[in-house]
Amino acid sequence: LVYSFRAMSTRVHSVSGVLTVTGEAAPPTGTTDPAVSSVRKRRQSTVESKAAAEVLCDGVALSTPTLGENLVTMLHKAIRGHGLSQMDVAELDHAALVELGVTNAIARARLLSVARAGPKMAPPKVDGKPVQVACKWGVQVLKNIDTVAQTYDLRLFADMYWNDASMVGASKDHVPDYLWTPDFIVQNGVSHPEIIPHGVNLVDENTGRMHKALEISVCVNNPMDLTKFPFDDDAAQLIVHQAEGDSPDDYIFVEDESKVDSVKLFYDPATNTEFDLVGFSTNYYVSPPIWELSHAIVWFHLRRRSMYYVWKVVFPLFLSTLFSFTAFLFPKEDISDRNNVALTMFLATVALLFVVGSALPKTSYLTLIDRFVLVSLTTQFFVAICSWITAGGFGTLDDGVAEDVDRTAKAVIPSVYALFTLWYFAGPVRRGLTRPRDAPPTYSLEGRFDSGTLDFHPFQEGVNVWY
C-alpha cells in the first residue's frame, strides 16, 4: 500500500502491518529495500501496537484544552488500525495523518506533539498494586576502603526485574522506547555517581518479564563505629531509593527470589588489603511519610585484618615503653641519666605515633588502640616521676624510703604494664585468629523502620563469588 503524502513523492510502505516514512519510491517486486528490512526487524506485535496507542492517546487526553472523547477514539483507531509505533507517529506529518484518517487538525497537532516528546507508559500495576521490582547486584570492584576518610569505592551492576503485561507475546528483538522502567538514586554517594545504562530487555515473552541493567561507579560514604579499632567489623552500606517524584504506590524495590546470590562478587575479595569481605545482607523498605520512598540497602560485611596494626603500631609502642624501664638500671641518684632515658623514649614514642598517625582514624572518641597509646605514654611519664621522687626532686626522702620507692617502682610499673598489655590484646587477637571467616558480624543486623532482623549470607566461591 503506497500513499502519496506530498509533491516530494514521499511514500509510506506497509510491511507486515507497520508503516514507515521514506523519501524513496517503493522498491520493485522481488528486490530487498534496506528500509523494509529494518522495519521487519522491529516489527510490532498486536500487543505492542495497542500499548503504543494507549500511551500516545493517554498523553493527548491529558493535554489542555481537553479534546473530546470522540477525537481521542479516532486517534486510537488510526494508530491501532495501521499498527503504528510511537516512533512511526513521530516521523509523520499532518498530511500523512490525514491519509490515515485523522481529519481533525487539532487532534493531529496534539498527537504529533505528544509522539515527538517521547512519552512513557504508566507503571504496569496489576489490580492497583505497586509494581514489584526485584533487585540483583553484581559487584565488579569494592576497594579503597578508607578508615580515615570513611569512604570506599564501588563499581557494580544493578539488575532490576519486573513484569509488564503489555509485553506479553511481544518480540524480544524490539523493546519499545515508551515502556515504563524503574529508576533509582544513590543516596549515600560522596560524589555524583557515574551511571552507564545497558538497555532494557524482554526476558520472557510469555510473562512479560523485563530486565533493566545499570553499571554504577561511585565513591560511597561509609560511617564506621571505630570503638574497637583495629579489631572491628564494618557494615559498608550502599543505599539507593526510587527517583524523587516517584511514589511507592507505583512501584517498590523487593529482594530477588534467589536470596543467597542476589548479591554476587565478580572479583577476588582476597585482593582487598585491609579488610575481609565476609558476606552481605539486604534491606528493602518504604520510608515513613513526608519522604515516603522505596529504598534498597545492600550491606557489605567487612572484617578488618587487625594484625597489621598489631605489628606496626602496638608492638613497636610496647617495645619503646619497655625500653623506658631501663632508666631504673641507673642509680637513683643519677637523675640525669634516668631523665635522658625517659625523655628519649618518650620522644621516640611520639615520633612513632607521628609516622603511623596517617593510618589511624581521626575520631572525637577513644578507640581501643587510642587507649593503649595513652596508657603507654602515661606509663613512660610515671617512670620519670618515680625517678624524680627518689632523687629528691619533690623533697628530700630518707635513704630507706627512697630505696623502697625505687625498688617498688622497678617491680610494679613494668609488671603492671606487661600484664595490662597481655590482658588488653590477648582476647581480641585470639578471637581474630580463631574466628571462622564466614561467621556473622558482631554488630546488630536490625533493618530500618521495623523491617526486622536481616539475614546474613556469607560470600562463598562458586555460590556468589565468581572470578
The pLDDT of residue 18 is 34
> Distance (Å, rounded) from C-alpha 209 to C-alpha 48?
14
Strand order across the beta sheet in which 294-304 lies: 184-186, 233-242, 294-304, 275-286, 457-458
Closest Cα partner for 268 from 433, 137, 143, 435?
Answer: 143
- pLDDT of res. 48: 62
CA atoms within 13 A on the CB side of 426: 6
Rounded distance between C-alpha atoms, residue 317 and residue 123, angstroms: 62
Residue with cell 587477637: 429
Question: What are the CB-based long-range contacts (under 8 Å, 24+) for 96-102?
Answer: 96/3, 96/5, 96/12, 96/21, 99/3, 99/5, 99/12, 100/19, 101/74, 101/77, 102/74, 102/75, 102/78
Q: What is the pLDDT of residue 401?
A: 85
Q: What is the pLDDT of residue 263?
A: 96
**d(Cα 328, Cα 391) in Å, to the nearest integer?**
12
Of 313, 348, 143, 300, the residue nearest 230 (C-alpha): 313
Report pLDDT for 252. Answer: 96
Predicted pLDDT at 3: 28
Mean pLDDT, consecutive 10-residue stretches, the chain (467 aa), reads 29 31 37 39 55 79 82 86 81 88 88 82 91 97 93 97 91 84 94 93 95 96 94 94 91 93 93 92 90 93 92 94 92 88 91 86 92 94 88 76 87 95 94 87 84 90 92
Q: What is the rounded distance in angstroms from the CA atom of residue 431 to the CA atom of residue 435?
A: 5
How many residues would you count in the chain?
467
pLDDT in the model for residue 45? 55
